[in-house]
Amino acid sequence: MTHPSRYSRIAFVASPGAEAQTALAQLIDAYGNVEPADADVIVALGGDGLMLQTLHDHMRTGKPIYGMHRGTVGFLMNEYSAVDLRGRLAAARDTVIHPLLMRATDVNGEVHIHHAINEVALFRQTHQAARLRILIDERERMSELVADGVMVATPAGSTAYNLSAQGPILPINAQLLALTPICPFRPRRWRGALLPNSAFVVIEVLEGDKRPVAAVADHDEARNVRRVEVISDKKISMRMLFDPGHSLEERILREQFGP
C-alpha cells in the first residue's frame, strides 16, 4: 500500500523501559530511522512523560509528533502497533497546542524563564501554607489566597494535575486556561477560575521569607520565588498527531463522562 510521502522520514524516540525499547528496535527494523533534524515526523514510544519531554525538546521545530503508548500513562498517546505505520501517519489528524511561558523572579532577583505544556504550578516549600496574591491583566482579582499552591493549566494539561486538584477539564480547542487552587484554606470554597488564553496572569508571593514558594513549569523548577508571570505563548505552535476517532478532543470528552 502506498501513502503520501510527507511522512517518509521518521525519527523514533523511546523511553528507557523494556516495552518501549523492544518497540523501538522493531520499528527501526521495519521503517528505518533518521535524526530528528532530518525527519518529517517524530514518533515517540512511551508514556505521557516521554511525550511531554519530546514536545519540549522539539518545541520550536514545528515538526509533528505522533506518540504510541509503551509506558505507564498514555493519555497523550495513540495505541501501539507496528503495522502500516506510514498509513496511520498519513491518516492522522493534527491537534495544535501552544505552551505556557513562565517568568519567575526569585528572592535574589534572578529571573527564571521556562515553557510548560501542561501547567505552571506554585507550591509551598515548607509546612506552612503559601500566601499568594493574584492579578489578571494587571488587575488584582484576589488579594490573598492561602493554600498549598495554585496552578495555571492549558487544555492539554487540564486532565493531568489540574484534574487531580479538582480543576475543570477543558476541550483541547477551547481558548481558555484553568486557574486552579491546590488545597485552598482561605477562601476555603474557592474552586478556581476559567480565564481567556490571552490572559496575563501574575501571582505574587506574600511573606515569602516565612512561607517560601517554588514555581514549576512542567518539570522545570524555580525555588524561593517572589513573583511569577504566566501567559500563553502564541509564537510557538506544536503539532500532535492522533489516529482518527482517537483524537485528544475525543479523549477529553470521554474523561468528562466517565469510563
Helix residue ranges, H only, 85-239: 85-91, 161-164
Average pLDDT of the segment spanning 110-122: 97
48 is catalytic: yes
User: How confident is the model at residue 255, as a pLDDT?
Assistant: 67
User: How confident is the model at residue 179, as a pLDDT?
Assistant: 98
Identify whether residues 133 and 174 lie together within a single domain: yes
Average pLDDT of the segment spanning 75-89: 92
Identify whether residues 143 and 213 lie together within a single domain: yes
Average pLDDT of the segment spanning 88-108: 95
Identify whether residues 130 and 88 lie together within a single domain: no
Identify whether residues 15 and 69 lie together within a single domain: yes
Residues 6 or more apart whose Cβ sits within 8 Å of residue 218: 52, 56, 114, 115, 116, 117, 118, 119
Q: Has 119 been labeled as part of a binding site?
A: yes
Q: List, for residues 214-241, the tens digit of each pLDDT value.
A: 999 998 999 999 999 999 999 999 999 9
Report the chain's mean pLDDT, rounded to a whole number.
92
Of residues 203 and 73, the one with the higher pLDDT is: 203
Q: Which of 4-13, 68-77, 140-149, 246-255 has the highest mean pLDDT?
A: 140-149
Average pLDDT of the segment spanning 173-185: 94
Q: Has 49 been labeled as part of a binding site?
A: yes
**For residue 247, is pLDDT > 80?**
no
CATH number at residue 12: 3.40.50.10330
Identify whether residues 34 and 81 lie together within a single domain: yes
Q: Has 162 been labeled as part of a binding site?
A: yes
Q: Has 161 been labeled as part of a binding site?
A: yes
For residue 153, what is its C-alpha cell? 493549566
Pairwise CA distance, residues 24 & 15, whole Å: 9
Pairwise CA distance, residues 36 & 9, whole Å: 9
Confidence band (pLDDT; 50, 70, 90) for 171?
confident
Could you tell me the residue range of the domain that residue 53 belongs to? 5-98+236-256
CA atoms within 13 A on the CB side of 74: 18
Q: Has 198 been labeled as part of a binding site?
A: no
**For residue 94, is pLDDT > 60?**
yes
Identify whether residues 137 and 242 lie together within a single domain: no
User: How confident is the model at residue 199, as a pLDDT?
Assistant: 97
Q: Has 33 been labeled as part of a binding site?
A: no
How far is C-alpha 41 from the geometric centre of its chain's CA atoms?
20
User: How confident is the model at residue 165, as a pLDDT?
Assistant: 95
Our count of domains for the chain comes to: 2
Catalytic site residue from 40, 48, 137, 220:
48
Which residues partner with 45 through β-bridges? Answer: 14, 68
Contact 147, 246 (CB under 8 A): no
Residues 6 or more apart whose Cβ sits within 8 Å of residue 188: none
